[in-house]
Amino acid sequence: MTVHLASDLQVREDTSFKMLGVRFSNSVMSVALDTKKQGLETIHNKPDSEPNEELPKQLQLRVLFMDSAQKEYTEIPAPILDLEALEELHLENNHIEVIPKEICHLCNIKVLYLNNNNITHVCEELGELQNLQSLDLSFNPLEYDSLNIVSKVQHLHELRLYSVNLEEFPVIICNSLQCLELLGLSNNHLTSLPEETVKLVQLKEIYLRNNRLERFPIELCLLPNLEIIDLEHNALKSIPAEIGSLTKLLKLFVGFNNISVIPKSLSHCTKLTVLDSSSNCLQKICPHLRKLTELNELVLSGNELGEFPSKLCKLSSLSVLYLKNTGIKILPPALSNLSFIKILDLSQNLLTDVPSAICTLKRLEILSLDDNLISSIIPEIKGLPQLIYLGLTGNRFTGFPEEICLLESLERLYIGQDQGTKLTCLPENICMLKNLKELYIENNDLECLPSNISCLQNLIILDCRNNRLKQFPEAICSLQALQKLLLQNNLLSVLPDKLDLLPKLELLELEGNPMTDPPIELCSLGRSAIWQFLQEKRRRNALAIKIQAWWRGLMVRKGLGPFQCLLRSGKKGKKSKKASKTKGKGQKGGAKGKKK
C-alpha cells in the first residue's frame, strides 16, 4: 500500500490499479490496493514508493475510498475487514455476491457503498454496525427479507435502494429508522407507500422516480422537514392540496406523469426554488405561482399550453425557464421582466421570429430556438452580451442569418437544418465569432466553407455531416484547437497533406465519402492509419522534389533534353570570345609592322 500526503481526499488513477483514499485525523492519504494479491501492501510515506518506516499505530485509518470500476471483486478483500477504525468504504461496481459476517469488525464504519454488485442477501452482522450513517445497496438482486436486517441499523441517515425490484416498502424500516434524512427508492415497482411512512419525521429527501405510483403519496405531505421530492416518471394524476403544508420544500420533481393542474396550495411552499412539471397534461398555469418569489428554475416543457403563460413574467427571480414543445406562437413584451434569466428553452414551438423582448435579457447565456418557424434574426440580438449558446437547428432560414455574427461572446452555435430549409453557404464574416468553440452546421447543402474559417482559433468541434462538400477546406488545417471533425456523408475524395499536423485532433469521421486519397478502405481503419498514410505521402513527395531538382541540375550540366540549347549557346559564346581575341592579336601585329 503506497501512501501520498495531500491537502484533501483525492482519487488517483494508474494503469494497473485505482487509488484508495485514506484520511488521517488532520491529513489525507491515497492508498493503492494490490488487485492481484487482494491484500494491502506495506505502507510508505513517499510518492515514489521507496521503502520507509511504517507509520505509527496512532495514525489509524479513518476513510478509505476505492474506485472499483475495473477491480471485478467477487468478495470483499479480507485485509479491508481488519481495518477496525475505518469510517468510509466504497465497494461499488464489483461482482460481490456475499457480505461476510466479518463486516461487523468495521465497528466505526459510517459510510458503506455496496451498490452495483450481485448481492442477494444481507448478513445479520450488518445490523451490528450501529455507527453506520449512510448505506447504499442499489442495483443488487436483493431478497426482500434482507431489508429486515437493514432496519436494525437504527442510526442510519441515508438509505439508497435504487433498482432492487421492490414491490412494497417494508413497514419495519418506517418503524425503526426514524433518523432517516434521505431515502432513495427510484427504479422499483412500488405502487404505494405504507401509512407508517409518516413516522420518518426527519426525512429531508425522498426519490421515487420510475415506479408505478398512480397516486401522490399523501403520507409525504405529513413529513414537515421534506426539502426534495422526486416523483418523475410515474402515473400520477394530481398533486394533493395538502402539499401546501410542506413549508420547507425546496425542489419538486413531478415530470412525466398525467397531472392536469398545479394546485393553488403549492404557493404556500414559499421556499420552493425548483419546480419540474414537464411532460404532463397542463393547459394553464395557476396565477398563484407568482407568490413563489424564490423560484429559480421552472420546467414546463411538453405540456399543451398553447401560449406563453403571461403570469410567468412576474416570477422575476427565475434564472432557468424550459418551455420546449408547448405550442407557443408568440412571446409577450413582458418577457423582458425576467431580467435574471440565464437559460431559456423555447425549442419545438411555432415561433416565426425572434421578438425584441428576448434581446433585452442581458444575463441570457443559453437560448434554444430549435425547430420553430423562424426565417430571420433581428439585429437587436447583439444586445445579448453574455450569450454563449444559441440553438437554431430546424428553422426556415433562406440563408445564413448574418446577424448571428454580431454575438462576439458566442461559444456554441447549432444551425444544422435536418428539418428546415438547407443552407448553401456560410458568410465570410463568420470569422467575427472569435470565441466560437463548437459549430454544428450538419444537414445542409454546403459545397464549401469560407477560407477565413481559419480565424476561429478557439474552435474545438466542427460538425459538417450530411452536406455536399467536394473539396476539403485547407483552412481547417489552421485550426490548432480542433479536437473533433465530423465530415460523414459528403462528397470528399482527397484529404489535405497537412491534416495530421493538427495537434489536438482526436476524432475524424469520414464515413459515406467517396475517398480515394487516402483510399476508403484505409479511412475505415481510423485516424492513426490516416495519419500514417499522410506522413508517408508527405515523405514521398519531399523525396520526389529532391530527385526532380537533382535530375534537372544534371540535365542542365549535360545539356540534355530541353536543356541542349543552353549547352549550344554556351559553346557559341566561347567561340566568339576566342575569335575576338585572335582578331585583336592580328590587329596589334599589323600596327607593329607599319611602325617598322
Confidence at residue 34, expressed as pLDDT on a 0 to 100 scale: 34
Q: Are 513 and 488 in contact (CB under 8 A)?
A: yes
List all residues 6 or more positions away from 204 whose beta carbon is below 8 Å from its beta carbon: 181, 182, 225, 226, 227, 228
Q: Is the pLDDT of residue 83 over 90?
A: no
- Dig out the grid coordinates for 496 from the structure: 489535405
- Dig out the grid coordinates for 48 from the structure: 515514489
Q: Is the pLDDT of residue 208 over 60?
A: yes
Q: Is the pLDDT of residue 55 over 90?
A: no
The confidence band for 554, taking pLDDT boundaries of 50, 70 and 90, is confident
Closest CA to 135 of 163, 563, 151: 151
Give the span between the Cα atoms of 279 and 548, in whole angstroms.
70
The confidence band for 544, taking pLDDT boundaries of 50, 70 and 90, is confident
Give the span between the Cα atoms of 1 and 36, in whole angstroms.
13
Confidence at residue 390, expressed as pLDDT on a 0 to 100 scale: 98
Distances from the Cα of 289 to the Cαs of 281, 292, 296, 316, in angstroms? 17, 6, 12, 12
- Dig out the grid coordinates for 396 from the structure: 426556415
**pTM score over 0.85:** no
Q: Is the pLDDT of residue 207 over 80?
A: yes
Confidence at residue 40, expressed as pLDDT on a 0 to 100 scale: 38
- Dig out the grid coordinates for 207 from the structure: 426519490
The confidence band for 524, taking pLDDT boundaries of 50, 70 and 90, is confident
The confidence band for 198, taking pLDDT boundaries of 50, 70 and 90, is very high
With cell 459476517, the residue in question is 101
Of all residues in the chain, the percent with pLDDT exceeding 90 is: 68
The confidence band for 37, taking pLDDT boundaries of 50, 70 and 90, is very low
Q: Is the pLDDT of residue 281 over 50?
A: yes
3-state helix, strand, coil in the chain (%, to 5): 25, 15, 60
Mean pLDDT, range 152-180, rounded to an integer: 96
Closest CA to 386 of 435, 432, 428: 435
Confidence at residue 72, expressed as pLDDT on a 0 to 100 scale: 86
Q: Are 186 and 164 in contact (CB under 8 A)?
A: no
Question: What is the architecture, at CATH level 2, of domain 171-295?
Answer: Alpha-Beta Horseshoe (3.80)
Confidence at residue 366, expressed as pLDDT on a 0 to 100 scale: 98
Confidence at residue 365, expressed as pLDDT on a 0 to 100 scale: 98
Confidence at residue 80, expressed as pLDDT on a 0 to 100 scale: 87
Give the span between the Cα atoms of 132 and 157, in whole angstroms.
8
The confidence band for 446, taking pLDDT boundaries of 50, 70 and 90, is very high
Mean pLDDT, range 13-25, rounded to an integer: 30
| Torsion (CA) 109, 113, 119, 121 in degrees, nearest 10 | 40
Q: Is the pLDDT of residue 25 over 50?
A: no
Sign of CA dihedral 439, 442, 445, 449: positive
Confidence at residue 50, expressed as pLDDT on a 0 to 100 scale: 37
Q: Is the pLDDT of residue 52 over 90?
A: no
The confidence band for 9, taking pLDDT boundaries of 50, 70 and 90, is very low
Confidence at residue 443, expressed as pLDDT on a 0 to 100 scale: 96
Least confident window among 56-70, 146-160, 249-263, 454-468: 56-70
Burial of 424 (0-12, 13-18, 19+ CB in 10 A): middle
Mean pLDDT, range 457-470, rounded to an integer: 96
Please state, rounded to an integer, the average pLDDT across all residues of the chain: 85
Tell how strand 3-6 and strand 28-34 pair up.
Answer: antiparallel
Q: Are 307 and 329 in contact (CB under 8 A)?
A: yes
Confidence at residue 573, expressed as pLDDT on a 0 to 100 scale: 52
Confidence at residue 36, expressed as pLDDT on a 0 to 100 scale: 32
Confidence at residue 107, expressed as pLDDT on a 0 to 100 scale: 92
If you average pLDDT over each of 56-70, 138-152, 414-428, 511-525, which comes out highest?
A: 138-152
Radius of gyration of the chain measured on its C-alpha atoms? 37
Give the span between the Cα atoms of 274 and 296, in whole angstroms.
6
For 569-591, write each residue's pLDDT tens digit: 555 555 555 555 555 555 555 54
The confidence band for 535, taking pLDDT boundaries of 50, 70 and 90, is confident
Confidence at residue 586, expressed as pLDDT on a 0 to 100 scale: 52
Give the span between the Cα atoms of 193 and 511, in whole angstroms.
52
Q: In terms of pLDDT, which residue wins out, 217 or 14?
A: 217
Alpha helices in 442-526 (DSSP H): 520-523
Mean pLDDT, range 168-188, rounded to an integer: 97
Collapsing DSSP to helix, strand or coil, 414 comes out as strand
Q: Is the pLDDT of residue 64 over 70?
A: no
Run of H or E residues at 65: strand 63-66
The confidence band for 70, taking pLDDT boundaries of 50, 70 and 90, is low
Mean pLDDT, range 233-261, rounded to an integer: 98
* HEC readout, 334-380: HHHHCCCCCEEECCCCCCCCCCCCHHHCCCCCEEECCCCCCCCCCHH
For 87-130, write each residue's pLDDT tens digit: 899 999 999 999 999 999 999 999 999 999 999 999 999 999 99
Mean pLDDT, range 469-483, rounded to an integer: 90
Q: Is the pLDDT of residue 386 over 80?
A: yes
Q: Are 62 and 86 in contact (CB under 8 A)?
A: yes
Q: Are 367 and 387 in contact (CB under 8 A)?
A: yes
Mean pLDDT, range 159-169, rounded to an integer: 97
Q: Are 200 and 219 in contact (CB under 8 A)?
A: no
Mean pLDDT, range 143-171, rounded to an integer: 96
If you average pLDDT over each of 76-85, 312-321, 469-478, which comes out highest?
A: 312-321
Mean pLDDT, range 226-236, rounded to an integer: 98
Confidence at residue 377, expressed as pLDDT on a 0 to 100 scale: 94
Distances from the Cα of 340 to the Cαs of 250, 252, 315, 324, 365, in angstroms? 19, 21, 10, 19, 11
Q: Are 232 and 253 in contact (CB under 8 A)?
A: yes
Distances from the Cα of 8 to the Cαs of 29, 45, 61, 69, 451, in angstroms? 8, 16, 15, 22, 49
Confidence at residue 317, expressed as pLDDT on a 0 to 100 scale: 95
